[in-house]
A and B are shown apart, each in its own frame.
Chain A
Amino acid sequence: MTQASFSNRLQRRPFVAELLARRDGALIIPGLGSPTWDCFAAGDSPEYLYSWGGMGLAIPTALGLAMAQPDRRVVAITGDGEMMMGIGSLGVVADQAPDNLGILVLDNEHFGETGKQSGLTGNRTDLCRVAEGFGVEKTLFVTAEDQTDDLVNLLFHRPGPTFAVAKIALSEDPWKLPVKDGVAIARRFRIAVGVDQP
Chain B
Amino acid sequence: MGQVFDWSDGVFSELKQRDFATVCTVPDGGLTQLLKRVSDDPNMQLVTLSTEEEGMGVVTGQWLGGQRSLLAIQSSGVGNCINALGFPAIMRAPCPMLVTMRGVWGEFNPWQVQMGMATQQVLEAVGVKCFPVDQPEDVRETFVGAVDLALHGGFSTAVLISQRVIGAKGFGQD
Mask, A165-176, CB within 8 Å of B = 1, is 000000000000
Contact between chains at B56 and A54 (CB < 8 Å) = yes
Q: Known: A54-B86, A68-B61. Is A195-B47 also a contact (CB below 8 A)?
A: no
Contact between chains at A64 and B57 (CB < 8 Å) = yes
Q: Known: A62-B61, A65-B61, A186-B92. Is A57-B66 also a contact (CB below 8 A)?
A: no
Q: Known: A49-B64, A92-B50, A195-B66. Is A61-B21 also a contact (CB below 8 A)?
A: no
Q: Is A19 an interface residue (CB 8 A)?
A: no
Give min CB distance, A193 to chain B, whole Å.
6
Of the candidates A72, A89, A194, the one whose C-beta lies within 8 Å of that of B54 is A89
Of the candidates B21, B57, B65, the one whose C-beta lies within 8 Å of that of A60 is B57
Q: Is A135 an interface residue (CB 8 A)?
A: no
Give min CB distance, A148 to chain B, whole Å.
27
A109 to B49 CA separation, bound complex (whole angstroms) = 26
Contact between chains at A64 and B62 (CB < 8 Å) = yes
Contact between chains at A56 and B93 (CB < 8 Å) = no
Mask, B58-88, CB within 8 Å of A = 1, is 1111111111010000000000000110110
Q: Is B55 an interface residue (CB 8 A)?
A: yes
Contact between chains at B93 and A186 (CB < 8 Å) = yes
B residues less than 8 Å from A193 (CB atoms): 64-66
A residues less than 8 Å from B47 (CB atoms): 63-64, 67, 92, 96
Give min CB distance, A170 to chain B, whole Å.
26
Q: Is A189 an interface residue (CB 8 A)?
A: yes
Give min CB distance, A92 to chain B, whole Å.
6
A96 to B24 CA separation, bound complex (whole angstroms) = 12
Mask, A27-56, CB within 8 Å of B = 1, is 001000000000000000000010011111
Contact between chains at B65 and A64 (CB < 8 Å) = yes
Q: Interface on B for A, CB 8 Å cutoff? A: 21-22, 45, 47-51, 53-67, 69, 83-84, 86-87, 90-93
- Which chain B residue lies CB-closest to A134? B50
A138 to B57 CA separation, bound complex (whole angstroms) = 23
Q: Known: A62-B61, A63-B57, A67-B21. Is A56-B69 also a contact (CB below 8 A)?
A: no
Contact between chains at B65 and A68 (CB < 8 Å) = yes
| 10 additional contacts (CB under 8 A) given A60-B55, A182-B90 | A53-B86, A53-B87, A57-B56, A57-B57, A59-B57, A60-B54, A61-B87, A92-B50, A183-B92, A193-B64
Chain A interface extent, by class: 35 or more
Report 21 cross-chain contacts, Cβ distance below 8 Å, ordered by A residue: A54-B86, A60-B57, A61-B57, A61-B60, A61-B61, A63-B57, A63-B58, A64-B57, A64-B58, A64-B62, A64-B65, A67-B45, A68-B62, A68-B64, A68-B65, A69-B66, A89-B54, A92-B49, A182-B91, A186-B93, A190-B66
**Which of A55, A57, A60, A72: most chain B Cβ within 10 A?**
A60
Of the candidates A55, A65, A88, the one whose C-beta lies within 8 Å of that of B62 is A65
Contact between chains at A53 and B57 (CB < 8 Å) = no
- Which chain B residue lies CB-closest to A58? B57
Q: Is A95 an interface residue (CB 8 A)?
A: yes
Contact between chains at B90 and A92 (CB < 8 Å) = no
Of the candidates B48, B67, B84, the one whose C-beta lies within 8 Å of that of A54 is B84
Contact between chains at A56 and B66 (CB < 8 Å) = no
Contact between chains at A182 and B61 (CB < 8 Å) = no
A residues less than 8 Å from B65 (CB atoms): 64-69, 72, 193, 195
